[in-house]
């Protein structure tokens, strides 16, 4: 069957299946946001009033400064094409990004407790494993014994190796040992957890800076990624957290979690625009497959589908 397709193209049935999967995921992730939007714009139309669009964006928790930036100069009746251009442009300042770096592809996971760091690490590990890549985890959150236990449980479930130590031990040593093990065993992807104490604590800032330096040393100064996990239910309030962490160690990108539990999906515009960082993935639920690559174009189109007629 697959011999009928050209080798340089993805078979059409696979493309259609991936599209359905993506559509289903976005519908689940933003179900509450979409429901809220429909309550404000109950009737689809070819053009929507300026004030109605503004109210819709406010209620979806887009920052008002960003709303003004997006809406400036638009007509009283706004077409889908015009609004789409403005909304997509809010992501355009973010440089093209590639999560893949040199082998071992090393990812340092950062964020406050409760944001979903450990579960997201498991989801990333599962995603890479499905791609045929070997993965190793580093339990670098030595501040909480529960974090080590939870990550160990995921490692066992996914059948991937983990480097860990006891609560209170040096997390930098865990990071170094994890990367060293990945290099020695020719492992493709190395994902390292970090403590999630309040971002205002000086000791956490110093700890993260030390871990980052140790990662660079273990990798012989090869690049690696520092990804911030943000709780989607916090909406725009999560931006302050990300800014604080970014000042500590210069974050490379964002993963937003728990989006299915909030109507604040519009905060993604603010997060990307104000932080000037890419959103790599969005997460929902507690299952290993509940992670999807984020697409600004698809995100905007999904919102506009709720209010504009075909």
CATH number of the domain bearing residue 228:
3.40.50.300
DSSP-based three-state secondary structure for 292: strand
Query: Do 68 and 209 sit in the same domain of this protein?
Result: no
Confidence check: pLDDT of 10 > 80 = no
Q: How confident is the model at residue 98 (pLDDT cuts 50, 70, 90)?
A: low
* pLDDT on residue 14: 67
Q: How much is the pLDDT for 241?
A: 85
Could you tell me if 277 and 221 lie in one domain? Answer: yes
- 34 lies in a domain? yes
Tell whether 48 and 158 lie within a shared domain.
Answer: no
Query: Of 203, 196, 209, which Cα lies nearest the Cα of 250?
Result: 209
Exposure of 75 in the CB half-sphere (CA atoms within 13 A):
8
Which of 63, 93, 123 terminates a domain? The answer is 93
CATH of the domain at 41: 1.20.120
Structure-model confidence comparison of residues 143 and 256, the more confident one: 256
Q: Does the pLDDT value for residue 97 go beyond 90?
A: no
Whether 272 and 210 map to the same domain: the answer is: yes
User: If you count them, how many residues does the chain have?
Assistant: 310
What pLDDT, on a 0 to 100 scale, did the predictor assign at position 6?
37
pLDDT at 5: 31
Q: What does the block give as tokens for 89?
A: 């442009």
pLDDT-above-70 percentage for the chain: 91
Kindly state whether residue 241 falls inside one of the protein's structural domains: yes
Mean pLDDT value of segment 162-172? 92
Total domain count, the chain: 2
pLDDT digits (tens, 9 = 90+) for 259-284: 999 999 999 999 999 999 999 999 99
Same-domain check for residues 124 and 254 = yes
Instruction: Answer whether residue 167 is part of any domain.
Output: yes
Integer Cα distance of 180 and 204 in angstroms: 24
118 with 266, same domain: the answer is: yes
Which residues, including other chains, have CB under 8 Å from residue 249's CB and lie 6 or more apart?
110, 208, 209, 212, 226
* Residue 231 structural domain: 105-294
State the greatest distance between any 2 C-alpha atoms of the chain, in Å, as a whole number: 63
What is the rounded CA–CA span in Å between residue 85 and residue 297?
Answer: 10
The verdict on residue 279 lying in a domain is yes
| 192-203 pLDDT, tens digit each | 999 887 555 778
pLDDT for 2: 29
Q: Is residue 3 part of a domain?
A: no
Q: 249 and 214, same structural domain?
A: yes
In the listed set 93, 127, 151, which residue is the last one of a domain according to the structure?
93
Q: What percent of the chain has pLDDT over 90?
A: 71
Are 40 and 146 contained in the same domain? no
Q: What's the sign of the alpha-carbon dihedral 302, 304, 305, 310?
A: negative
Say if 41 falls within a structural domain.
Answer: yes
**pLDDT above 50 (res 1):** no
Domain identity same for 76 and 16: yes
Q: Are residues 81 and 109 in the same domain?
A: no
Pairing of strands 189-192, 135-138: parallel
Other residues' Cβ atoms within 10 Å of the Cβ of residue 250: 10
User: Residue 97, Cα to own-chain centre: how many angstroms?
Assistant: 13
Residue 306 lies in a domain: no
> How far, in Å, are 18, 140, 180, 203, 216 from residue 176 at the CA level?
37, 10, 6, 19, 9
> Which pLDDT band holds residue 3 (cuts at 50, 70, 90)?
very low
Q: Look over the chain and give the mean of its residue pLDDT values, rounded to a whole number.
A: 89
Token pair for 186: 């020719």
Query: Among the three residues 93, 115, 132, which one is the final residue of a domain in this structure?
Result: 93
Burial classification of residue 214, based on how many CB atoms lie within 10 Å of its CB (0-12 exposed, 13-18 middle, 19 or more buried): buried
What six digits make up the tokens of 213? 């330096």
128 domain-assigned: yes
């Amino acid at each position: 069957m697959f011999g009928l397709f050209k080798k340089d193209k993805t078979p059409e049935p696979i493309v259609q299946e991936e599209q359905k999967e993506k559509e289903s995921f976005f519908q689940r992730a933003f179900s509450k946001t979409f429901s809220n939007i429909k309550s404000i714009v109950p009737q689809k139309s070819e053009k929507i009033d300026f004030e109605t669009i503004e109210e819709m964006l406010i209620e979806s928790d887009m920052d008002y400064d960003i709303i003004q930036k997006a809406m400036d100069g638009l007509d009283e009746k706004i077409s889908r094409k015009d609004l789409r251009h403005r909304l997509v442009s809010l992501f355009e300042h973010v440089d093209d990004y590639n999560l893949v770096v040199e082998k071992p592809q090393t990812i340092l996971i950062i964020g406050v407790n409760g944001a979903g760091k450990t579960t997201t690490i498991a989801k990333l590990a599962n995603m890479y494993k499905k791609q045929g890549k070997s993965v190793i985890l580093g339990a670098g959150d030595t501040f909480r014994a529960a974090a080590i236990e939870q990550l160990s449980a995921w490692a066992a479930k996914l059948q991937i190796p983990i480097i860990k130590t006891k609560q209170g031990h040096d997390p930098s040593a865990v990071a170094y040992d994890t990367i060293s093990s990945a290099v020695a065993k020719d492992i493709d992807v190395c994902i390292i957890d970090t403590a999630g104490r309040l971002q205002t604590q000086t000791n956490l800032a110093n700890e993260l800076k030390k871990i980052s330096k140790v990662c660079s040393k273990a990798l012989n100064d090869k690049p690696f990624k520092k990804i911030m996990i943000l709780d989607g239910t916090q909406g725009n309030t999560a931006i302050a957290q990300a800014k604080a962490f970014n000042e500590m160690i210069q974050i490379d990108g964002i993963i937003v979690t728990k989006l299915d539990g909030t109507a604040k999906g519009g905060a993604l515009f603010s997060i990307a625009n104000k932080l000037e960082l890419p959103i790599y993935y969005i997460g929902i639920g507690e299952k290993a497959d509940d992670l999807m690559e984020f697409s600004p174009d698809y995100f905007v189109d999904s919102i506009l589908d709720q209010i504009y007629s075909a």
